[in-house]
Structure 1
Amino acid sequence: MTETRDGTRYEPQAPLSVAARSACPRCGRGHLFKGFLNIAPRCDVCGLDFSFADPADGPAFFVMMTTAIPAVAFGLWLELTYDPPLWLHFVLTLPVVLITCTLPLRFFKGWLVASQYVHRAEEGRLARPAAASAPAANPDSPGPR
């Protein structure tokens, strides 16, 4: 259960459910996007600031691995099996590739943002120095095995 500073409690949301609805990862009711792929600055229901969200190129990678490869394979199969004219590829293959590569982007972006929220992902930081009384480790020596 997530609790905010003002004492409001929110049930945990499943990242896949939030992604399918394009909803806020904290309350599950607000909108995550302000356009097709633009993340809103904050939730319009609970006020969660989405500045933590940085899916980077993750959605594009997942789309390439799940839908782009089969869509391109369809075009290759069509070419090698039937040897159609070029205009038929523009009519069949191009829409298949565009649709299968564009539509899932929103889902994958929502899923990655929700996963970042649920797992409290943040930028990596360097480790803090050990306490002054602890002996300094030699960086060239191998660690414990």
Structure 2
Amino acid sequence: MYDDPLAADAADTSRAPREVATALWRGWRRCCPACGHGPLLKGYLTVRDHCPVCGQDFTCQRADDGPAYLTILIVGHVMAPVLLWYFTAFRPAPATLFSLFAMGSVALSLYLLPRLKGSMVSFQWARRMHGF
């Protein structure tokens, strides 16, 4: 009936709204936002084409650089005050300070990046963006 999935979604007002908070939590856990059981990501950051449990199509998702920008924003806002506090409280050697905070920043970034990508894709799914 409709060639454009966005037009079809806008015209169909009978669809129940999707719970954004539930979708964000499922995305944070890297699970399918629709069913909550299937894996959303294949590997570290690659989004699956579809959910192996419920069959939800993810080919239309577009997270692009959003998760990376959010990761940088969060890591910077967490690590900068901690760095300032640690430096003023303990006055460590520069090599020690660099080593601790470089490893901490990398570890926090690696932890956050796939979770933020899952959350962003799930948010798009919940708001029916990009053809979901």
Q: TM-score, normalised by structure 1?
A: 0.66
Q: Residue type of the partner of 1:28?
A: G
| Unaligned runs of at least 5 residues, structure 1 | 1-11, 124-145
Match of 1:16 in 2: 24
Deviation of 1:46 after TM superposition, in Å, equals 1.6
Q: Residue type of the partner of 2:57?
A: D
Q: Indicate the SS of the match to 1:64.
A: helix
Match of 1:140 in 2: none
Larger Rg: 1
* Equivalent of 2:45 in 37, 47, 58: 37
Counterpart CA distance in 2 for 1:97 and 1:107 is 16
Tell me if structure 1 keeps the 8 A contact 2:67–2:117: yes
Alignment of 1:39-54 (within 5 A): 39-54=47-62
Identity of aligned residues (%): 29
**Which structure carries more helix by proportion?**
2
> Does 1:114 find its partner at 2:126?
no
Match of 2:80 in 1: 72
Q: Indicate the SS of the match to 1:51.
A: coil
RMSD: 2.3
Deviation of 1:115 after TM superposition, in Å, equals 1.1
Counterpart CA distance in 2 for 1:39 and 1:122 is 15
Q: TM-score, normalised by structure 2?
A: 0.71
> Does 1:63 find its partner at 2:74?
no
Deviation of 1:48 after TM superposition, in Å, equals 1.8
Deviation of 1:105 after TM superposition, in Å, equals 1.2
Match of 2:9 in 1: none
Tell me if structure 2 keeps the 8 A contact 1:72–1:97: no
Counterpart CA distance in 2 for 1:38 and 1:18 is 16
Counterpart CA distance in 2 for 1:106 and 1:52 is 18
Q: Indicate the SS of the match to 2:68.
A: helix
The higher relative CO (CA closer than 8 Å, separation ≥ 6) is in 2
Counterpart CA distance in 1 for 2:130 and 2:23 is 17
Tell me if structure 2 keeps the 8 A contact 1:74–1:93: no
